[in-house]
Amino acid sequence: MKKEIEEELEIKRQDHELRKREVKLKEDQFKMEQKRYFLSPGSTAIIAALFGIFASAITASITGYQNVELERLKQEFQIIVSASENRTQEEAAKNLLFFVDIGALRDKNGKIREYALKGEAPIISNDFKLPNEDAAKNAIGFDASLWQGGINWTEIKETTISFIVIKATQGDQYIDPQFHNYWESAEANEIIRGAYHEYDDCVSSETQAAHFASVVKIEKKDIAPILSVMEDPSCLGYSDPRYLRGILAWLELTEKQYSRTPIIYTRKSLWDKITVKDFSMYPLWAAAYGFRSSPVIPMSWSAWTFWEYTDQAILKGTNSGTDLMILFNGPFEELQAFIEKN
């Protein structure tokens, strides 16, 4: 009898664990869906009001009601999307008030009504957002790799995108599965293209430079070769002199190979740990998210050439939902002149 009870309890425990895993999976799926939309900073409180409902769904994980609650939450999020997508804040706010009044959108703590009455609502767009109004004059592009899951070039050409930077290689063996497809398609669609190599401090610079050169054939009309120093070192310390020497070796070998000055793609929080020496001889592609007027750049530079200003845009023509958008520091004509000069 005792054994039977223990077996029954074990079955219930396993069932409970399974239900918890199912709820966690649904939670992750919902969060991924939510990330597909670019939300203005002022919309945080409204979205938070919905996520407050989510806690009750997790609490009810063993009651059997969690699926109903999750589906209701998804419906409410879609209501916010339909009320706000491609509309002004004022229009979206009026729509949200309407849905709250008819009971389609729950507002337990009154936050949605409070912010909507102030004329505040999410700004949701299925396209990229510029960091500031002045940026509209700049040439704009995006960072592409296998994570885009394919590109609809017809739709890309309907946007103001003028260039694309594509991940080509990493270390001494890896080739991005989409590189050749994107590289050839960009040329066919008359979009300026560039290619970058992800530096690996565990592999010799010589073999990495040779690997990149064997994969990427850069023409005069293309952006100069790019070295990505975006990942923290795995084998060497930030201040280990071999790390910086390796980076310099790749740059020098690649410059000799292509007769073009390479571009460095990095972020301040990483590069400043490596060196503060002057690197202005190499153009900077700075990754700096969340800044409005200009990026915060590493101390080795006094100016930026390219600025990756967001990693959460949604670009028409891609499937990733988290596109990396890049500004050139000047209009399209200056981008062309930069390519010709460099």
Domain containing 145 — which CATH number? 3.20.20.80
Which has more pLDDT, 273 or 114?
Answer: 273
Residues 99 and 155 in one domain: no
Q: How many folded domains does the chain comprise?
A: 2
Angstrom distance (rounded) from CA 204 to CA 246: 7
- Residue 28's pLDDT band (boundaries 50, 70, 90)? low
b vs e for 127-149, b when ≥16 Cβ sit within 10 Å of the residue's Cβ? ebebbeeebeebbbbbbbbebbe
CA-closest candidate to residue 251, choices 226, 268, 276, 231: 226
Q: What pLDDT score does 223 carry?
A: 98
What is this structure's pTM? 0.66
User: 218 and 309 share a domain?
Assistant: yes
Q: In terms of DSSP bridges, do strands 140-144 and 161-170 run parallel, antiparallel, or are they unpaired?
A: parallel
Residue 125 covered by a domain: no
Q: Is residue 43 part of a domain?
A: yes
What local confidence, expressed as pLDDT, does residue 68 receive? 63
Is position 176 within any domain? yes
Instruction: Output DSSP code: residue 122.
Output: -
Predicted confidence band of residue 43 (pLDDT cuts 50, 70, 90): very low
Based on the fold, state whether residues 144 and 112 are members of the same structural domain. Answer: no
* Final residue in a domain of this structure, among 90, 117, 144: 117
Residues 180 and 322 in one domain: yes
| Per-residue confidence band for 311, with pLDDT thresholds at 50, 70 and 90 | confident
Position 259 confidence tier, pLDDT thresholds 50, 70, 90 = very high
Mark whether 106 and 160 lie in a shared domain. Answer: no
Residue 126 belongs to a domain: no
Q: Indicate if 75 and 150 belong to the same structural domain.
A: no
Looking at the fold, whether 205 and 335 belong to one and the same domain comes out as: yes
User: Which segment of 55-69, 174-188, 213-227, 280-294 scores lowest on mean pLDDT?
Assistant: 55-69
Top-confidence residue, 118 or 191: 191
d(CA 22, CA 129): 35
Give the pLDDT confidence score for residue 192 in this predicted structure.
98
Determine, yes or no, domain membership for 254. yes
pLDDT at 97: 87
Write down the mean pLDDT value for the chain. Answer: 81
Residue 47 reports pLDDT greater than 90: no
* Domain termination site, one of 83, 117, 151: 117
Contact 111, 46 (CB under 8 A): yes
- Asked whether residue 148 is domain-assigned, the answer is yes
- Does one domain contain both 323 and 231? yes
Domain with 79, as residue range(s), is 2-117
Of 117, 144, 179, at which residue does a domain stop?
117
Measured CA to CA, the distance from residue 294 to residue 16 in angstroms comes to 50
In a domain, 301, yes or no: yes
- Find the mean pLDDT for residues 174-185: 95
**How high is the pLDDT of residue 59?**
44
Q: What is the mean pLDDT of residues 277-293?
A: 90
Residue 124 domain flag: no
Residue 230 sits in the same domain as residue 279: yes
Residue 65 has pLDDT above 60, yes or no: no
Task: Give the tens place of pLDDT for each residue, 85-124.
Answer: 656 667 778 888 888 888 888 877 787 788 778 776 664 4
Same domain, 59 and 162: no
Return all residues near 64 (Cβ < 8 A) that are at least 6 apart: none
Q: Are residues 173 and 52 in the same domain?
A: no
Same-domain check for residues 325 and 272? yes
pLDDT in tens, 113-161: 887 787 766 644 445 667 777 888 899 999 999 887 788 899 888 888 9
Distance of CA 208 to the CA centre of its chain: 25
Give the pLDDT band of residue 170 (cuts 50, 70, 90): very high
Choose between 28 and 216: higher pLDDT. Answer: 216
CA-based angle 298:304:306, to the nearest 5? 115
